[in-house]
Amino acid sequence: MRLLAAALFACTFSPATLHAQTPVAITTDLATDKAHPAKMESFQLPSHGSQLNALLYIAAGARPHPTVLLLHGFPGNEKNLDLAQTLRRAGYNVLFFNYRGSWGSPGQFSFTHCIEDVQSALAYLRDPANAAKLHVDPADLIVIGHSMGGFMARYAAAQDAGIKAVALISAADMAVDKIETIPATYRTRAADSIAKGFANEGLAPLACSPHDLAEEVIANADTWNVPNLAPKLVIVN
């Protein structure tokens, strides 16, 4: 089953209802599995010649686990690792990594490289040797992204029918949809404005130029546009 999950459901419930439905894993550790305890593995994730800094939160138990690829935003100050802890308690593995050129991972940061790095991470989880070692169920992969990570999650899910589910948390469009509304002959004039917006986010953790990012958005506006991806993000029962 393929599912598109929009992480906006909380606003439809009263606080009392939310409290009554709070999953146990949010607040409570499970009984310890002494033979196969929950743990964490740090490693370098290979992607297009670079070795990306990565962490895998491994759920307790010997069986293969559904596995979440958790994607951080731009520039990545918020990493949402509280979600990783909760998901692991609920029986999910969670892979977190830093894209090329971000937070100490080598290489040049760009949105195209982020897209490629997400694909590399999915390929890593599907590799039979890695899946066996890390207790990953390669047929049950989920992608969750926050902000720019939501942009990456949405794009990955539109291209990869093997992703079981995708959840978007305050997903960003990285100015792609704004560019789409501007006639092609005038798009390059928007580069300075877009670059300023990226620079204002604080680029110290990223190896990139804000103008290069702006030019990349303009060049890929049609391909990355959210409405154009929508037909591929369908719910199949």
Q: What is the pLDDT of residues 68-119, one digit of tens each?
A: 999 999 999 999 999 999 999 999 999 999 999 999 999 999 999 999 999 9
Give the span between the Cα atoms of 72 and 84, in whole angstroms. 12
Q: Which of 101-115, 136-150, 214-228 has the lowest mean pLDDT?
A: 214-228
Domain-by-domain residue ranges, the chain? 3-8+33-174
Residues 112, 119: contact at Cβ < 8 Å? Answer: no
User: What is the per-residue pLDDT across 167-208, written as a single tens digit (0 to 9) for each?
Assistant: 999 999 998 888 878 887 788 788 988 999 999 999 999 999
User: Is 3-8+33-174 assigned to CATH 3.90.1150.10?
Assistant: no
- 88: Cα separation from own chain's centroid: 16
Cα atoms found within 13 Å of the Cα of residue 114, Cβ hemisphere only:
30
What does 58-121 look like in DSSP terms, one character per residue?
Answer: E-SSSS-EEEEEEE--SS-S---HHHHHHHHHTT-EEEEEPPTTBTT-SS---HHHHHHHHHHH
pTM for the structure as a whole: 0.87
Residue 26 has pLDDT above 70, yes or no: yes
